Amino acid sequence: MARYIFVTGGVVSSLGKGLSSASLAYLLKSQGYKVRLRKMDPYLNVDPGTMSPFQHGEVFVTDDGAETDLDLGHYERFTNISSKKTDNITTGRIYSDIIKKERRGGYLGKTVQVIPHITDRIKEFIKKDISDEDFVICEIGGTVGDIESLPFVEAIRQFSNEHGKSKTLFIHLTFVPFLKSSDEIKTKPTQHSVKELRSIGIQPNIIICRSQQSIPIDQRKKISLFCNVPIENVIETVDVRTIYEAPISFFNQKLDKQVLKFFKLKSKKRPNLLPWKKITKITLNTKKIINIGIIGKYVNLKDAYKSLDEALTHGGISNKVKVNLIRIESDKLKPNQIAKKLKNISGLLIPGGFGKRGTEGKITAIKYARERKIPFLGICFGMQMAIIEFARNKLKIKKAGSTELDRNCYPVVGLINEWNKDGKIIRGTDKDLGGTMRLGLYDAILRNNSAIKKIYKSASIKERHRHRYEVNNNLKNQFEKKGLIFSGMSPDNKLPEIIELKNHPWFIGVQFHPEFKSRPLSPHPLFSSFIKAAKSFNGK
């Protein structure tokens, strides 16, 4: 029977609950246990799919096509366990299911209430789609005490009663500030946060204290005493130099040991920390810097391209260079500034995106990279922009564009009204914005003798998608005659998945998002190859 670990946060948000959960999952998995990670988000959006990156950071896409919270990206990167649709839920989704059921008469006339109906639905989510997992780690978004997170906290309290107290563990992550003026570490916020948690019926079993410096034994004793937790279960997490150090740091603090002890389990083998030590060392010691220009709408926003930033860092690690991102906001980019802005870059990346704003600047920048033979990687929207640039400037189709941006353009990129997957129509133009995209894992067949096939070392690949529009395949021959090859296609040969330029050292566009599948311990080949090309461009 699965054991459940619930991770809540206190005092302030952004303490790294996701990273802590992911590190713990790695440590348990590496000791021979089967682990699953889940996230419960207290906001009212049904999923983060339609939320602006300004609000919520990146939307992470799973293999099975769920648009999820970016914490699932951390989970996957640290554990290499693929998340599923069933691993992320929001208050919005829960209410929407319940209201639908109520409208159908599913509650047989009963009054529908937060307790028991909402809490029952949360408990259902926690247990759903679990088979032989040893541990299910569920992170609760937000901070204890928020109005929105109350039903979740109530649900996990009930869950622990029903599932068995010895089979459910509560971890509370708090902040332990250091006050410069008095030269003191303060435990009071932690005490208050635990008090808040206890007032709604949850006694944490382990407290993880995030702090800027090591917490002296006296303060740990205080936390142990006031929060009613054994001293060995007061675990500190001091700011790490790189996130790759987190699993090492939690191991040193014996987090996994205390978790196993709680469940009366033994470690099946010693966790393998070598790969983390290796990449920490590379990350901290590499001196060589490669400048990659990235042009997008949200480039100055910390989590908006989280997986992409990570994937580029992974590409840097595999080439033993530090990737320095030159972030260029597309909205502000005037075509006549391109040469100046891109002067010192060794590679250009145009990431995924939506909408017209800033597209002309991107297109001009792609032309610059194409003509000056600067390594270029276009992801999703970035590939669509590259195709438009080539059509305008090489095929001389002046009105070439995407119907997403201009209904009257010559549609080099356009909407295909219906897609069939497993015989079902999965999107159409007349549906809601949410849920009308080509989402999740799709196959692509790679052409012989193409650059992309050499990079992947495989004839077919599976990558994650998140888009509505497609490159118009009818123009394939025209493009190929001019040297832009459609080197990856959908298995039915209808949808261009990858484009590449013949007479260019490294110019590739992909309709999918390879960044979602890059892992620090196994960097994605496309990013490793892109950074390698940038490194040799730099060397010229």
Cβ count near 376 (within 10 Å): 29
Nearer to ligand GLN, 98 or 366 (CB): 366
Closest to 121 (Cα-Cα) out of 84, 85, 92: 92
Residue with tokens 């929207």: 381
- In this structure, what is the dihedral angle of CA atoms 293, 297, 300, 304, given to the nearest 10 degrees? -100
Determine the interface stretch with ligand GLN among 172-180, 295-303, 317-325, 347-355 (rule: CB under 6 A). 347-355
- How many CB atoms are located within 10 Å of the residue 177 CB? 17
Q: Is 511 within 8 Å of 377 (Cβ atoms)?
A: no
Question: Is 380 near ligand GLN (CB under 6 A)?
Answer: yes
Restricted to residues 170-229, the positions that interact with ligand GLN (CB under 6 A) are none
Smallest gap, in angstroms, from Cβ of residue 258 to ligand GLN?
Answer: 41
What does the alpha-carbon distance between residue 533 and residue 455 come to, in Å, rounded to a whole number?
12
- Cβ count within 10 A of residue 482: 16
Q: Which stretch binds ligand GLN (CB under 6 A): 37-45, 243-251, 254-262, 350-358?
A: 350-358
Closest contact distance (angstroms) between CB of 376 and ligand GLN is 16
Position among 42, 353, 440, 525 found at the interface with ligand GLN (CB under 6 A): 353
- Quick check: 297 binds ligand GLN (CB under 6 A)? no
535 binds ligand GLN (CB under 6 A): no
How many whole angstroms separate alpha carbon 38 and alpha carbon 18?
Answer: 10
Of 497, 483, 485, the C-alpha closest to 445 is 497
Which residue of the set 138, 227, 380, 409 is catalytic?
380
Residue 93 binds ligand GLN (CB under 6 A): no
Element (H, E) at 171: strand 168-175
Decide: is 442 part of the binding site for ligand GLN (CB under 6 A).
no
Q: Which of 367, 467, 504, 517 binds ligand GLN (CB under 6 A)?
A: 467
- Report the distance separating Cα 362 and Cα 338, nearest Å: 9
Q: Does 125 bind ligand GLN (CB under 6 A)?
A: no
Question: Is residue 181 classed exposed, middle or buried when 0-12, 13-18 and 19+ CB atoms within 10 A define those classes?
Answer: exposed
Q: Is residue 306 at the binding interface for ligand GLN, with CB under 6 A as the rule?
A: no
Partners of 96 in the beta sheet? none
How many residues touch ligand GLN under the rule CB under 6 A: the total is: 10
* Residue 504 appears among annotated catalytic residues: no
Nearer to ligand GLN, 234 or 508 (CB): 508
CA distance 172 to 190: 9
Among 276, 469, 486, 527, binds ligand GLN (CB under 6 A): 469
- The catalytic position among 117, 467, 504, 513 is 513
- Binding ligand GLN (rule: CB under 6 A), the pick from 381, 390, 456, 479 is 381
| Catalytic status, residue 314 | no
> Is 352 near ligand GLN (CB under 6 A)?
yes
- Which among 123, 58, 43 has a CA at the least distance from the CA of 91? 43
Counting every residue written for the chain, the total comes to: 540
Nearest approach in angstroms of CB 353 to ligand GLN is 5
Q: Is 227 a catalytic residue?
A: no
Enumerate residues 387-406 that contact ligand GLN by CB under 6 A. Answer: 404
Residues annotated catalytic, as ranges: 380, 513, 515
Judged by the rule CB under 6 A, the positions of this chain that interact with ligand GLN are 352-354, 380-381, 404, 466-469
